[in-house]
């Protein structure tokens, strides 16, 4: 009962303020939930080739590929051979004062491993001197193959820092794994500052908005389509 009272109060207080300002309830909600967001990753979908990205491949491979993109015509293809050490990176300035900073990336694997995390791909943040700041997420050869999944990681703890976003894939000496990557995004959002905003944000879910995502989550996209998955292509040297 107490919770209901709190929810009712939370609903009424912005309404009273909005009414005093001549706004309707609906416009109050839209205004209060509005944010200013900007994309920080350059060419996250790889449609402009290597623009914005640095790539290093121990085998000398071009990591930007048109073989198996998630969207558009281009994506990134790491691993795919034994003893791979493939790195994609991009310097990103994470703005101070951002209300939210979120990394999103779509990924998929295909593997000849029959089980076990022998090959892997890790998302990390490096400092400007290339030392490790934080490991964010690791995908390995034990993941379900031939699906596209979205990785979502909260980068809010790193606001105000200049970082290098690095994706590193390594495979061991047998049974190679392909790691595919596309639509890499870091979104910085700054909530509009309004006098009644904290009241509404505190009751976001109660007001019918979508819940905030957890700090890190993975969502599946599509389903296995045996027989439709393309055959492994010959890697192209740079």
Length of the chain as a residue count: 238
CA distances from 33 to 21, 85, 101 (A): 17, 43, 16
**CB 5 to Ca ion: min, Å:** 49
Binding to Ca ion by residue 72, rule CB under 5 A?
Answer: yes
Binding to Ca ion by residue 175, rule CB under 5 A?
Answer: yes
83: left (phi over 0), alpha (psi -120 to 50) or beta: left
Binding to Ca ion by residue 160, rule CB under 5 A?
Answer: no
Binding to Ca ion by residue 179, rule CB under 5 A?
Answer: no
Binding to Ca ion by residue 182, rule CB under 5 A?
Answer: yes
**CB 156 to Ca ion: min, Å:** 26
CA distance 134 to 114: 30
Residues of span 126-155 touching Ca ion by CB under 5 A: none
Q: How many residues line the site for Ca ion (CB under 5 A)?
A: 13
Pure H helices in the chain = 2-20, 25-33, 197-201
**CB 59 to Ca ion: min, Å:** 14
Choose between 92 and 183: whose C-beta lies nearer to Ca ion: 183
Per-residue DSSP letter, 158: G
CA distance 98 to 90: 20
- Contact track, Ca ion, 28-47, x by CB under 5 A: -----------------xx-
From the list 71-79, 120-128, 145-153, 224-232, the region that binds Ca ion by CB under 5 A is 71-79
Unique residue bearing structure tokens 């909600």: 29
Unique residue bearing structure tokens 């905003």: 197
Q: In this structure, are residues 184 and 215 in contact, taking their beta carbons and an 8 Å threshold?
A: no
Choose between 85 and 172: whose C-beta lies nearer to Ca ion: 172
Binding to Ca ion by residue 178, rule CB under 5 A?
Answer: no
Q: Which residues bind Ca ion (CB under 5 A)?
A: 45-46, 69, 71-72, 74-75, 118-119, 171-172, 175, 182
């Amino acid at each position: 009962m107490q919770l209901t009272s709190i929810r009712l109060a939370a609903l009424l207080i912005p309404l009273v303020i909005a009414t005093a300002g001549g706004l309707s309830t609906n416009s109050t909600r839209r205004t209060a939930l509005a944010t200013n967001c900007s994309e920080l990753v350059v060419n996250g979908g790889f449609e402009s080739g290597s623009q914005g990205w640095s790539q290093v491949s121990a085998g000398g491979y071009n990591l930007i590929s048109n073989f198996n993109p998630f969207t558009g015509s281009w994506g990134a293809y790491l691993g795919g051979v034994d003893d791979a050490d493939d790195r994609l990176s991009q310097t990103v300035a994470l703005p101070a004062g951002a209300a939210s900073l979120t990394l999103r990336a779509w990924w998929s694997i295909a593997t000849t491993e029959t089980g076990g995390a022998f090959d892997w791909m890790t998302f990390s943040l490096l400092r400007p001197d290339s030392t490790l700041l934080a490991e964010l997420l690791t995908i390995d050869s034990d993941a379900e193959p031939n699906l596209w999944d979205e990785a979502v990681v909260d980068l809010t703890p790193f606001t105000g820092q200049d970082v290098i976003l690095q994706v590193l894939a390594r495979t061991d000496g047998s049974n190679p794994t392909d790691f595919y990557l596309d639509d890499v995004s870091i979104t910085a959002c700054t909530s509009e500052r309004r006098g009644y905003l904290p009241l509404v944000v505190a009751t976001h879910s109660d007001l019918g908005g979508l819940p905030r995502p957890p700090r890190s989550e993975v969502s599946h996209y599509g389903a296995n389509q045996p027989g439709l998955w393309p055959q492994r292509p010959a890697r192209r040297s740079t």
